[in-house]
Amino acid sequence: MTYETLKELERGADYKIHKFVLADKANHTPVKTEYRLTRDGLAGTQVFNRLFDAKAAAVAPLPEPEAAAPETVQDETAQDETAQDETAQDAMAETATTETATTEPSGHEAGTGETVPAPASDGKRAE
């Protein structure tokens, strides 16, 4: 059998830290200890294993709330820009492939009779 205790350890301007202990009823030894941080501006309770971590989170700056409407507009704009960038990259890759295929071999390569493989368009060397 076990029992639980919950007591407030620290209270600040916009936060509270509670210590939760689950203990064995027979010999009163702690089975589990948690530090619970409740902070204004955050939904719910954060749970920590160490008091030091709970105190650090209590005084850390709050994350800034993000507006849903502006993000949607930015996401659509970002997708359009990404599509344009991909189209431009495809065009540049085709141009580079065409230039590589039409270039004549230089000096000593032409006289040896060996074929020199054209570089791969994905940036990897041909084996």
pLDDT digits (tens, 9 = 90+) for 14-35: 999 999 999 999 999 999 999 9
CA dihedral angle for residue 58, residue 61, residue 67, residue 73, rounded to 10 degrees: -130
Residue of 69, 28, 45 whose CA lies nearest to 17: 45
**Tell me, what amino acid is at 97?**
T
| Domain boundary assignment for the chain | 2-59, 66-97
72/98 Cα distance (integer angstroms): 39
pLDDT tens digits for range 40-80: 888 889 999 999 999 999 998 887 776 544 444 445 545 55
48/101 Cα distance (integer angstroms): 62
C-alpha 15, offset from chain centre: 27
81/73 Cα distance (integer angstroms): 13
Q: Which residues does residue 81 pair with via DSSP β-bridges, in sequence order? A: none
pTM for the whole structure: 0.49
